[in-house]
């Protein structure tokens, strides 16, 4: 069974640009959650999608958005990038929701210069 796939693995962007990250969950999983991980703040929850609907949202500005498609694949978008957005962005999939067993992808390392 294939795991969670995140693309791209690495990304370098310039301040002010926007970026879209992609996540393909484990087959059959309907919940996709996104996290931002930085050395200073640790793993912070961005949002969760379930059956194409945003079910939970963390405390991040509106520049961070996401969506989920009918095949459960998800994308997250960050607009007007800031230097502080540099982080490892992680996607996790689970069958029913975050607090059931969540399986993570390898992440996308975003560097904003």
What is the per-residue binding string for another protein in 1-40, x denoting contact by CB under 8 A? ---x-x------------------------x-x-x-----
Instruction: Tell me the closest approach of the beta carbon of residue 74 to another protein, in angstroms.
Output: 15
- For another protein, the binding residue among 19, 21, 78, 102 (CB under 8 A) is 102
> One symbol per residue from 49 to 88: x for binding another protein (CB under 8 A), - otherwise; what is it?
-x----xxxx-----------------------------x
Q: Give residue for tokens 């961070």.
A: 64
> Which residues, 6+ apart, have CB-to-CB distance to 110 below 8 Å?
11, 12, 13, 19, 21, 78, 85, 86, 87, 88, 89
Sign of the alpha-carbon dihedral angle for 82, 65, 50, 9? negative
Chain positions contacting another protein, by CB under 8 A:
4, 6, 31, 33, 35, 42-45, 48, 50, 55-58, 88, 90, 92, 97-107, 109
């Amino acid at each position: 069974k294939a795991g969670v796939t995140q693309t791209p693995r690495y990304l370098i962007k310039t301040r002010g640009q926007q970026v879209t990250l992609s996540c393909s969950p484990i087959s059959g999983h309907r919940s996709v959650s996104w996290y931002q991980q930085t050395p200073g703040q640790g793993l912070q929850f961005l949002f969760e999608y379930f059956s194409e609907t945003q079910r939970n949202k963390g405390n991040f500005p509106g520049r961070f958005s996401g969506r989920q498609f009918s095949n459960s694949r998800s994308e997250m978008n960050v607009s007007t990038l800031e230097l502080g957005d540099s982080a490892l962005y992680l996607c996790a999939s689970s069958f029913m929701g975050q607090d059931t067993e969540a399986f993570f992808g390898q992440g996308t390392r975003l560097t904003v210069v």
